[in-house]
Structure 1
Amino acid sequence: MNIFAAYRNDIHFFMPIKITCSLLISLFISGQSFAQKAEKESVRDVKIPAIEQKMIEQGLVDIQKLDPNIKVELKYSTTDNFVGKDVYGDLNRAYLQPEMAKRLVKANALIRKNHPDYTLLVYDAARPNSVQYALWDALDNLKIPAKNKKMYVADPKIGSNHNFGCAVDLTVVDGKGKPLDMGTKYDFFGPLAYPRSEQEMLKKGKLTQQQISNRQILRTAMNQAGFKTNTTEWWHFDGMSKAQARAKYGMIK
């Protein structure tokens, strides 16, 4: 066999390999295109709940997009609340006005700086005024006197700071995700939950120093971040007065 015949044989030998490689490359590119298309369609198919869409349109932000370390368990999206039923429906994310969300991120950073294993757990944030009416009416089932209702739920005709995206309800959890012992559950109605009554409850033996210290961890971080303490709810913090919130932001209907 001369050199030219050998060359021709080599070409015939390598041609199937060349065709196979080209086919594999083509299939690989096609596979990538299919995967990318499927991913885009999957994202497009995710429907944002109407209640959440309203908040986005009003400029509120998902707090976990600013700080994924902050945990969220919206109590009114569960039956574990004083109403005894889910009043939020499809809403499972916590939204706040951008300014408030940034403060919350700062508060969480302060918590984690002093207690690396701790983080914030949000129970409630921005709340539609329509839900405010449901909470207000639910107090009647608890036999709360009309004159005391405003101590626990803001009159929906006036609105709560939650209805403007300027208030947040929350606690602190440890490294295992367990809430710190604050002396009462969330939405406990009575002096045991009042920050203003803590020393009295301590003297009566109804609160321990550790429970008060746990509350202080939360309160210190929130105050330093720019939130104000509520005198009757250890879990509730306001970013500004209701008058300021009303003037600056529209109510979430």
Structure 2
Amino acid sequence: MKPYQHIPILDCGEPLVAIPGDQFALVLPHPYELLGAPYAGRSPFYLRQGVLTGLSQAQIYLHQQYPQWKISIFDAYRPIAVQHFMVDYAFTEQVQSQGLDPEKLSPSERQEILAQVYQFWAVPSLDPATPPPHATGAAVDVTLVNQEGIAVDMGSPIDEISPRSHPDYFAQSPDLTHQAYHTHRQILAQAMQQAGFAQHPNEWWHFCKGDQMWAWLTDQETAFYGRVE
């Protein structure tokens, strides 16, 4: 179990609502759908109503500094079947990146690679007490686009299984380019945190509001968003 999964959930019953594409930049076509993830006709661009309200507030905070920039939505609601598909995909990618044969992995090699994957991907648990964050509609993966609609460079891509994904990875670098990456990450984080979101400790792009991870990171006794069927 991850440390946030012991927190009880008292779901408030808010519905999932569509993220308006005219207000935010949506990453289209959706990258997981392109890989064949089984959404079964459901859209990834949905969030709980309160989370979407917070996202709109974050955009307002962003516009106070950068009036023509937008928050770009990479991923939001994720059914359990998609979580399972993406964990398997990430595992296979890690195996191949290390030059290993997936058919010849030893038990220890398999466990080591799974440990690497689960630093960034939640277990696709079917237990309603331990839902993956994205399955609650309360987690969102975001970045920024500038006034020309071009993605702002954060120094590493979303979903990279690497220390570079940690929010403060570039904080102490003397390299000016690396300092710019850190500044961009801070701009995003500050806008989201002002709107009540908490940031995943290992991922510069992942923010949540109201789920178990949020409750754990903000010292709350309960979460109010659980798994959405």
State the TM-score, normalizing by the size of structure 2.
Answer: 0.73
The alignment partner of 2:122 has SS state of coil
Q: Percent identity?
A: 28
Q: Is the 8 A contact 1:124 1:170 kept in 2?
A: yes
**Aligned 1:86-97 pairs, distance under 5 A:** 86-88=37-39, 90-92=41-43, 94-97=45-48
- Residue pairs, 1:169-180, within 5 angstroms: 169-180=141-152
Match of 1:195 in 2: 167
Deviations 1:175-209 (A, max 9, x none): 11101010011211101111143335x25x59611
Q: Which has the larger radius of gyration?
A: 1
* 1:172 Cα offset (Å): 0.7
Q: Relative CO higher for 1 or 2, CA cutoff 8 Å, sep ≥ 6?
A: 2
Tell whether 2:14 aligns with 1:63.
Answer: no
Describe the superposition over 1:94-149 as per-residue Cα deviations: whole angstroms up to 9, x where unpaired.
11111100000000111112111101110001111111111122222122712222
Q: Does 1:155 align with 2:123?
A: yes
**Structure 1 unaligned blocks of 5 or more:** 1-56
Deviation at 1:63, TM superposition (A): 2.1
Moved more, 125-134 or 191-200: 191-200
How big is the shift at 1:159? 2.6
| Distance change (3 Å), C-alpha of 1:198 and 1:87 | farther
Q: Is the 8 A contact 1:228 1:240 kept in 2?
A: no
Question: Which residue in 2 is equivalent to 1:219?
Answer: 189
The runs of 5 or more residues in structure 2 that have no matched partner are 1-12, 96-111, 217-221
TM-score, normalising length: structure 1: 0.66
Q: What SS is found at the alignment partner of 1:122?
A: strand
What is the aligned partner in structure 2 of residue 209 from structure 1? 179
Residues matched between the structures, number: 189
Structure having the higher helix fraction is 1
Cα distance between partner residues in 1 of 2:63 and 2:17: 22
Q: Which amino acid aligns with 2:209?
A: G
Return the letter of the residue paired with 2:80: N
